[in-house]
Amino acid sequence: MGFAQVKEEPAQRAGDTKQNPLPPRLLAPTLARKLTMALHRPNAPPSRSGVGASCVVLPAGPWARVIDFLAQRFPGVAQAVWTQRLQDGDVIDDEGQVIAPDAPYRAGQRLYYFRALAAEPHIPFEAIILWQDEHLMVVDKPHFLPVVPSGKYLQETVLIRLKNALGLEALSPIHRIDRDTAGLVLFSKQVATRGAFQELFRTRQVDKTYECIAPWNPELLWPMRRASRIAASAHFMQQTEVVGEPNALTHIAPIEVRDTLARYTLKPVTGQRHQLRVHMAALGLPIVGDGIYPVLTPESCTDYHNPLQLLAKSISFTDPLSGELRQFDSAQKLRGLAEVSEQTCRQPP
């Protein structure tokens, strides 16, 4: 499964770069300890088919066998499945020893396990590599393709496809966009310089512009600054606006209007989960093709002919290693307003 590559920059000379991840002393002590525990993976096994092993440290508890803990800790996976994984050698310790199905439980032991899916749906769309250098890769992702493994998707994700196609074990997304959203995603190619790019997002030094198609309401004051507090909703798939200090900010402006529809530019300042979709839905302007807001539809209802009309259109920032201004634009386009309007009229009530 290949990837079209538009442009590749020559590797920079060692003297031209500086590695400046966030110094640990700048992190709050408690946060630093949590991050250290989460990231500390001694003797982690190599990935399999591009998929890295997950890690769990066994806590103190009443379990007699490792499999008893795994079945309780991960209720979504049947004990019979864990038994098969153990028999197949898919659970190992940090010394590389395979854990047997009847292995006794030992608190403090670090285990690595590999996820597996009995059946994974194929996604018939490909991502495109727009640009890359020694440290960074810019990918233009299609609708419907997840960025990272989650739920029923493992191999059918941008990350795993790229790792398998290019042999880049250290590849990791610096940020993410929804599976339903198309457009730009940045990937780090080296662990040593990853923190420098992640810091750009943490400190809001990245300028991101999205486009969407949604209903038009001339009664609202445009352009608009939408600031609200977004939190988890009753259903884990959804977020919602709640009362409280705003933690989400989006600048919204129409750029084209046709009858009851409009094309908007969305410039998120913050990066809350589903932020743009929540903000548009809260305005009474749900994005065309949205199967989550305002009404959640079953994932089995995914319609490849009716993608969410939301595109991560452009991204710009100052490269923390070279000092150069980077500007990237997606090669993808949303549908025309006339086409969307015609399709909406054809849909049954």
The whole-number average pLDDT for the span 187-207 is 97
pLDDT of residue 42: 74
pLDDT of residue 31: 39
Better-predicted residue by pLDDT, 51 or 31: 51
Question: In the chain, how long is the greatest CA-to-CA distance?
Answer: 68
Instruction: Say if residue 173's pLDDT is above 90.
Output: yes
Percent of the chain whose pLDDT exceeds 90:
74
pLDDT of residue 297: 87
| pLDDT band with cut points at 50, 70 and 90 for residue 76 | confident
> Which domains, from first to last, does the chain contain?
1-9+119-203 (3.30.2350.10), 28-113 (3.10.290.10), 205-349 (3.30.2350.10)
| pLDDT band with cut points at 50, 70 and 90 for residue 342 | confident
The whole-number average pLDDT for the span 177-181 is 96
pLDDT of residue 37: 41
Better-predicted residue by pLDDT, 49 or 315: 315
Q: What is the token pair recorded at 235?
A: 């259903």
pLDDT of residue 347: 58
The whole-number average pLDDT for the span 172-188 is 97
SS3 readout for the chain: CCCEECCECCCCCHHHCCCCCCCHHHCCHHHHHHHHHHHCCCCCCCCECCECCEEEECCCCCCCEHHHHHHHHCCCCCHHHHHHHHHCCCEEECCCCECCCCCECCCCCEEEECCCCCCCCCCCCCCEEEEECCCEEEEEECCCCCCCCECCECCCCHHHHHHHHHCCCCCEECCCCCCCCEEEEEEECCHHHHHHHHHHHHCCCCEEEEEEEEECCCCCCCCEEEEEEEEECCCCCCEEEECCCCCEEEEEEEEEEECCEEEEEEEECCCCCCHHHHHHHHCCCCCCCCCCCCCCCCHHHCCCCCCCCEEEEEEEEECCCCCCEEEEECCCCCCCHHHHHHHHHHCCC
Q: What is the mean pLDDT of the chain?
A: 88
Instruction: Say if residue 176's pLDDT is above 50.
Output: yes
What does the pLDDT look like over 104-124, one tens digit per residue? 999 999 999 998 787 888 999
| pLDDT band with cut points at 50, 70 and 90 for residue 299 | confident
Instruction: Say if residue 25's pLDDT is above 90.
Output: no
The whole-number average pLDDT for the span 119-136 is 95
pLDDT of residue 298: 83
The whole-number average pLDDT for the span 175-200 is 97
Instruction: Say if residue 187's pLDDT is above 60.
Output: yes
Q: What is the token pair recorded at 219?
A: 């009664």
| pLDDT band with cut points at 50, 70 and 90 for residue 28 | very low
pLDDT of residue 5: 52
pLDDT of residue 153: 92
- The pTM of the full predicted model, rounded to 2 decimals, is 0.82
Instruction: Say if residue 92's pLDDT is above 80.
Output: yes
| pLDDT band with cut points at 50, 70 and 90 for residue 345 | low
What does the pLDDT look like over 207-259, one tens digit per residue? 999 999 999 999 999 999 999 999 999 998 999 999 999 999 999 999 999 99
d(CA 335, CA 325): 30
What does the pLDDT look like over 3-23, one tens digit per residue? 555 443 333 322 333 333 333
